[in-house]
Amino acid sequence: MSFIGQIKRVKIIKSNYIRNVLVLVGGTGFAQVISFFLTPVLTRLYAPSEYGIFGLFTMIVIVLGILPTLELHNIIIIEKDDTYAKKATGVVFFISLTITFLLFLIFLIIKDYLVIQLNIQGYENLILLVPLIIFINSVYLLLMSWANRKAKFKLMAQNRIMLALINPIITILLSYLTKSANGLIIGYIIGNFFVTILLLYIFIIKEKLNFRFCIKDIGQVIFNYKDFPKFSLPSSLVNAVINQIPLLMLNRYSNTSSVGQFNLSNRTLGMPISIISSSFNEVFKQRATQTYNKYGKCDKIFVKSFFSLLVVSLFIFSVFALFGSDVFALVFGEQWRIAGKYSSIMVPLFVMRFSVSPLTYLFVIANKQKYDLWGHIGMLVLITISFPISSFFSDDSSALIAGYTVAYCIVYLFFLVKSYHFSRGKKNVVI
């Protein structure tokens, strides 16, 4: 290929990369903007304590939701052979179904204990819906991973648009039927179920994809990619626990109202991440994986992506750093001013999460899941220590969140440096 031809090819690749990012960012962003404008309606229909109960429900879903796929859904994106990727999808679906069924049996036994420990009396029956939503989310993850593999970014954006719109709309309608956290929880389940069924229809019915597998394939898939359940699964589980520690601590030492304040703050600051950073993440996964597999490194893409995300994050979160309390009181109602205070404290945390999280996929691409696991264990230790240290100086919930933020940022600096080393390729990685 001529030099000019190579330049044209590079330009086409860059153009496709940017276009894919814009498709996901634009589509998801549009839906999230609408969802954001519906949130002030929700905060006036549901009290902070009800948001707190909803936060505890989703906390269980997020932590236990790591288990069903055993992190083997990553195979769908990184596997080079299409036939094997289809077979692996079927295997992971079966594994997810089996694990969620076992979770359901366990929840039948411990539901009363959970209700007492979380102080959510009256929601015993909804606790039993946790395994159901976990399974729905697992299937959704598998199908979105397949869409990513096939570079169906427009479909992914459209699906996220529907999810971002359906959840709040259903929740608002349910508020007129029930004046409790039931509306928030059931609306969440219905919305996730709808978009998952839609993806199933597209891939299974419309495109007639075949994800069949044999029993012997289960052991083969797990053995070939054993590092995912061995290292990535514990790492993701630890990471999920890390993100839910504030909810547990606030619920234990304060009340569900404080949990609700934190939950709204976390969701609001997390919105730019779900709009831009996560969309960028999907495209980065594909582009970085292809480049790394072909050239043995992807450091140029890494550096460009990091600084792009950093600039955007500083621009977005500076508003919350300066005017968090006033913004929340104005937009969501005076009863949510404390959530604004929490937001101001957590700005550094969200800047790091926005800028670094998408890039940590290098641990998967470079097959360095072991270091990802140790990094998250270190994060868990630091964050756990931060709470008693913070409470020693002050019993105010804001002090706990401040200590949590500092610990989180320290460890994410480690992830940033390590991911960059991995992006430079095997010969340049510093272990």
pLDDT score of 13 more than 50:
no
Task: Give CA 48 to chain center in angstroms.
Answer: 23
pLDDT digits (tens, 9 = 90+) for 82-130: 888 888 888 999 999 999 999 999 999 998 888 888 888 878 788 889 9
pLDDT score of 359 more than 80:
yes
User: Predicted confidence band at 230 (pLDDT cuts at 50, 70, 90)?
Assistant: confident
Nearest alpha-carbon partner for 189 in 144, 140, 133: 133
pLDDT for the residue 371: 82
pLDDT for the residue 25: 65
Helices 48-64, 130-149: crossing angle, 10 deg rounding: 60
**Residue with the larger pLDDT of the pair 35 and 45:** 45
What DSSP state is assigned to residue 203?
A: I
The answer to whether 73 touches 91, Cβ cutoff 8 Å, is no
Nearest alpha-carbon partner for 398 in 332, 318, 340: 340
Nearest alpha-carbon partner for 367 in 231, 273, 212, 260: 231
**Complete DSSP assignment for 77-118:** HH-S-HHHHHHHHHHHHHHHHHHHHHHHHHHHHHHHHHHHHH
Minimum mean pLDDT range among 238-242, 374-378, 422-426:
422-426
pLDDT digits (tens, 9 = 90+) for 385-401: 888 888 788 878 888 88
**Residue with the larger pLDDT of the pair 368 and 314:** 314
pLDDT digits (tens, 9 = 90+) for 176-185: 887 788 899 9
Instruction: Report how far residue 199's alpha carbon sits from residue 427's, in angstroms, rounded to the nearest whole number.
Output: 41
The radius of gyration computed from the CA coordinates of the chain, to the nearest angstrom, equals 22
User: Predicted confidence band at 10 (pLDDT cuts at 50, 70, 90)?
Assistant: very low
pLDDT score of 193 more than 90:
yes
pLDDT for the residue 178: 78
Please list, in sequence order, all residues whose beta carbon lies within 8 angstroms of the beta carbon of residue 231, skipping any fewer than 6 positions away.
369, 370, 372, 373
Task: Give CA 11 to chain center in angstroms.
Answer: 32
pLDDT score of 139 more than 90:
yes
pLDDT score of 12 more than 70:
no
**Residue with the larger pLDDT of the pair 388 and 143:** 143
pLDDT score of 30 more than 80:
no
pTM for the model: 0.76
pLDDT for the residue 378: 86
User: Which token pair is 248?
Assistant: 């547990």
pLDDT for the residue 85: 86
